[in-house]
Structure 1
Amino acid sequence: MSSVSSIPTADDVLDPQVDVLPVEEVATALGVPVSRIYQSVRDGHLIAMRRAGQLCMPAVLIDGSEPVKGLSGTLTLLRDAGYTPTEMLRWLFAPDESLPGTPIDALRSNRGREVKRRAQALGF
């Protein structure tokens, strides 16, 4: 079993007002073991960060009992474009006048196609 320190994490580049959930709470919300959350982060399906030394995720990445629709594919596109986890997190929460709002807001409101188009364009 790999150690928790081998999990790729983003720097905490978000506003302190952004609610975060410890990975244990994310696992409970998704109904999976914590080890599955760690593996999802390693596989690039979820993104984690450390806040106050604790491994956590922005709460808006979770929609009820599942990750936000389109998040995994968007993270894959960003990684393929050469983005680091920190850059991915920053991009997801950065205002984009063309959406309008932030990419994570657009994903949460079922506008994933628009978000993925923008993420794909970053690779060119």
Structure 2
Amino acid sequence: MNDTPENVAASEPTESSGPVWLTLPDIAEQLGVRITQVHRMLKDGELVAVRRGERNVLSVPQEFIGEDGPLPELRGTFTVLHDGGFTDEEIVEWMFARDDRLVGGTPIGAIRQGAKTEVRRRAMEEAL
């Protein structure tokens, strides 16, 4: 059975509770890739990671990952926000910030519901 406790928790995040976090080795295992490929995803801007926990481990919100890898819709939004001077920490915070004007209630919720263009427009406004 595939519903291990971590898979159940990762599949049921809610925006109000914040992100469900995955370490880089967790992502590599989930996607069936080498850790070096996860590092490449970070370097290429497909993902953003922040240091968390008492061991200060690089972690990525589970919501940024789809079945086949990083959500492709995120890369452009991350680029816009980075170009606007946002740090990775600020990007994660922005992606989970409550915004009732967006379908899904947050930028990440809107992206996961197909509203990439609206999220990117708001990111451009923020980056000015």
TM-score w.r.t. structure 1 length?
Answer: 0.78
Match for residue 60 of structure 2? Answer: 57
Kindly provide the amino acid, as one letter, of the partner of residue 33 in structure 1: R
Query: Which residue in 1 is equivalent to 2:80?
Result: 77
The alignment partner of 2:127 has SS state of coil
Structure 2 counterpart of 1:28: 29
1:105 aligns with 2:102: no
Give the TM-score normalised by structure 2.
Answer: 0.76
Once structures 1 and 2 are overlaid, which stretch shifts more, 50-59 or 16-25? 16-25
Give the unaligned 5+ runs of structure 1. 1-14
Give the number of the structure with larger relative contact order, counting CA–CA contacts within 8 Å between residues 6 or more apart.
1
- Following superposition, the deviation at residue 74 of structure 1 comes to 0.7
After superposition, the Cα gap between the structure-2 partners of 1:86 and 1:79, relative to the gap in structure 1 and judged at 3 Å, is: same
Q: Which amino acid is the alignment partner of residue 122 of structure 1?
A: E
Aligned length: 110
More helix by share: 2
Instruction: Give unpaired runs (5+ residues) of structure 2.
Output: 1-15
Q: Which amino acid aligns with 2:80?
A: L
**Among the aligned pairs, what percent are the same residue?**
36
Structure 1 CA distance, aligned partners of 2:65 and 2:48?
Answer: 11
Tell me which residue corresponds to 1:45: 46
